[in-house]
């Protein structure tokens, strides 16, 4: 693991740049060989194309259509470090992959004589088609499937606990967009990180906790209730270096907001927790500062609601919630106001700001 997020981002971008060049090479090679064999390539509806080849070509077309869907979905939904990706590199990579997909879609309507006549080529094409259709098809199912969430009426509606613009880093119902969903008590849990200029969540290299815009940001009660539990005094962990696996929540506040609804706000700054057990809190009341205590890799705010009071109670179930009066930006362009649910990579802020 890199020692800071800035380095991680640079490595990540270099990786994508190398992948872009490799795939660009693949595209050029493919064009070269298609041009070379153009004389023996024909449309599948011309000549006597066996039904088997029609089926294979159909499978290949299906795989490539799914691949076309997968490319943006991966960057916009599944990639948890989207905010670290350089937009130029990311667009170049998408463009190269989309070009490959488009070319293959056109080629799926043509066939070479060698695929019809040579047994080995036919088997190779069969294996490749099945692999692509299966894997890309599966992925194409997974991405749209992440956009499901309990209806507004089934969710606890909360005030946004912070000010400014934030990114939902881990959010949604399914483990592939929200790692919390792997444990039942933290189903629907949200990890949010504050954004600065250009949607960056840290300045400089992100080597120091204080580089992060989230660090030291004021946190307010998202609902009224009674403080059921709280903790303070745990130290700030270094970025990517010291996860506390014993006190996973770090400094936290737990508020009983309704019967069988216990809201946790975690990873608060050492010495900042402003409420104690038994306190009645009003919605909007100052609770403390966001920090980097507990089991955390870099400063962010964790929030979830469970139906039982003990954090690690394996019988507890995570409860769905939404924020009221927010503006949510999804896929970097689609804006929605009101109480829309949050999925990974959604950006949100209070709508009156
Ligand atoms: Zn979390």
What is the tens place of the pLDDT at every residue in 51-84? 999 999 999 999 999 999 898 888 888 877 777 7
pLDDT band at 163 (very low <50, low <70, confident <90, very high): very high
| Ligand 1 mean position, distance from CA 56 (Å) | 45
If asked whether residues 160 and 96 sit together in one domain, one would say no
If asked whether residues 182 and 321 sit together in one domain, one would say yes
Q: Which residue has the higher pLDDT, 237 or 83?
A: 237
Question: Which whole number is the average pLDDT over 133-137?
Answer: 94
| Ligand 1 mean position, distance from CA 134 (Å) | 33
CATH for 288: 2.70.70.10
Tell which of 126, 145, 164 closes a domain: 145
pLDDT of residue 2: 45
pLDDT of residue 189: 97
Tell which of 145, 165, 193 closes a domain: 145
| Ligand 1 mean position, distance from CA 127 (Å) | 41
If asked whether residues 116 and 80 sit together in one domain, one would say yes
| Ligand 1 mean position, distance from CA 249 (Å) | 8
If asked whether residues 102 and 246 sit together in one domain, one would say no
Dig out the tokens for 298 from the structure.
């870099």
pLDDT of residue 142: 83
| Ligand 1 mean position, distance from CA 180 (Å) | 7
pLDDT at 105 over 60: yes
If asked whether residues 249 and 134 sit together in one domain, one would say no
| Ligand 1 mean position, distance from CA 157 (Å) | 19
Whole-number average pLDDT of the chain: 92
Percent of the chain beyond pLDDT 90? 73
| Ligand 1 mean position, distance from CA 41 (Å) | 54
| Ligand 1 mean position, distance from CA 346 (Å) | 16
| Ligand 1 mean position, distance from CA 54 (Å) | 49
Q: What gap in Å lies between CA 76 and CA 8, rounded to an integer?
A: 19
C-alpha distances in angstroms, 248 versus 62, 268, 347? 45, 12, 26
Q: Which of 6-10, 93-97, 196-200 has the lowest mean pLDDT?
A: 6-10
70-71-74 Cα angle (round to 5): 75
Question: Which whole number is the average pLDDT over 83-92?
Answer: 84
> Is residue 6 within 8 Å of residue 201, measured between CB atoms?
no
pLDDT of residue 3: 58
If asked whether residues 275 and 176 sit together in one domain, one would say yes
If asked whether residues 172 and 120 sit together in one domain, one would say no
**DSSP letters spanning 164-219:** S-EEEEE-SSSTTT-GGGGSGGGTT-EEEEE--GGG-SBSTTS-SGGGBTTTT-EE
pLDDT of residue 116: 87
| Ligand 1 mean position, distance from CA 126 (Å) | 44
| Ligand 1 mean position, distance from CA 53 (Å) | 50
pLDDT band at 246 (very low <50, low <70, confident <90, very high): confident
| Ligand 1 mean position, distance from CA 318 (Å) | 12
If asked whether residues 178 and 255 sit together in one domain, one would say yes
pLDDT in tens, 249-276: 999 999 999 999 999 999 999 999 999 9
If asked whether residues 165 and 135 sit together in one domain, one would say no
| Ligand 1 mean position, distance from CA 23 (Å) | 35
Pairing of strands 190-194, 166-170: antiparallel
| Ligand 1 mean position, distance from CA 86 (Å) | 25
Total tally of structural domains belonging to the chain: 2
Question: Which whole number is the average pLDDT over 1-27?
Answer: 85
pLDDT at 204 over 50: yes
Q: What gap in Å lies between CA 176 and CA 332, rounded to an integer?
A: 20
| Ligand 1 mean position, distance from CA 302 (Å) | 4
> Is residue 302 within 8 Å of residue 273, measured between CB atoms?
no
pLDDT band at 14 (very low <50, low <70, confident <90, very high): very high
pLDDT band at 1 (very low <50, low <70, confident <90, very high): very low
Tell which of 113, 145, 177 closes a domain: 145
If asked whether residues 108 and 226 sit together in one domain, one would say no
Burial (0-12, 13-18, 19+ Cβ within 10 Å), 168:
buried
pLDDT of residue 242: 66
If asked whether residues 214 and 286 sit together in one domain, one would say yes
| Ligand 1 mean position, distance from CA 135 (Å) | 30
If asked whether residues 184 and 274 sit together in one domain, one would say yes
| Ligand 1 mean position, distance from CA 152 (Å) | 22
Question: Which whole number is the average pLDDT over 295-307?
Answer: 95
**DSSP letters spanning 2-49:** -SSHHHHHHHHHHHHHHHHHHHHHHHHHHHHHHHHTGGGEEETTSS--
- What residue numbers bound the domain in which 244 lies? 153-350
| Ligand 1 mean position, distance from CA 275 (Å) | 21
């Amino acid at each position: 693991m890199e020692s800071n997020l800035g380095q991680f981002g640079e490595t990540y971008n270099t990786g994508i740049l190398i992948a872009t060049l490799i795939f660009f090479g693949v595209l050029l090679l493919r064009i070269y060989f298609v041009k070379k064999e153009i004389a023996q390539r024909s449309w599948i509806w011309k000549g006597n194309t066996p039904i088997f080849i029609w089926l294979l070509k159909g499978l290949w077309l299906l795989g490539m259509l799914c691949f076309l869907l997968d490319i943006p979905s991966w960057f916009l939904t599944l990639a948890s470090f989207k905010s670290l990706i350089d937009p130029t590199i990311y667009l170049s990579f998408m463009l190269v992959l989309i070009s490959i997909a488009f070319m293959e879609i056109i080629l799926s309507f043509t066939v070479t004589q060698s695929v019809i006549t040579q047994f080995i080529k036919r088997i190779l094409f069969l294996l490749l088609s099945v692999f692509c259709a299966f894997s890309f098809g599966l992925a194409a199912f997974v991405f749209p499937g992440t956009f499901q969430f309990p209806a507004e009426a089934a969710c606890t509606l909360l005030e946004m606990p912070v000010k400014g613009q934030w990114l939902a880093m881990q959010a949604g119902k399914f483990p592939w967009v929200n790692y919390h969903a792997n444990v039942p008590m933290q189903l629907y849990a949200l990890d949010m990180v504050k954004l600065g200029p250009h949607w960056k969540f840290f300045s400089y290299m992100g080597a120091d906790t204080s580089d992060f815009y989230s660090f030291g940001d004021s946190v307010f009660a998202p609902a009224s209730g009674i403080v059921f539990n709280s903790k303070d005094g745990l130290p700030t962990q270094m970025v990517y270096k010291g996860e506390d696996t014993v006190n996973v929540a770090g400094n936290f506040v737990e508020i009983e907001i309704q019967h069988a609804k216990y809201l946790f706000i975690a990873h608060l700054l050492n010495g900042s927790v402003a409420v104690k057990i038994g306190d009645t809190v009003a919605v909007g009341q100052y609770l403390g500062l966001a920090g980097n205590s507990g089991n955390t890799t870099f400063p962010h705010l964790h929030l979830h609601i469970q139906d039982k009071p003990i954090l690690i109670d394996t019988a507890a179930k995570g409860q769905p919630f939404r924020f009221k009066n927010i503006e949510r930006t999804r896929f970097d362009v689609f804006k929605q106001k009101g109480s829309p649910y949050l999925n990974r990579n959604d950006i949100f802020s209070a709508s009156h700001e």
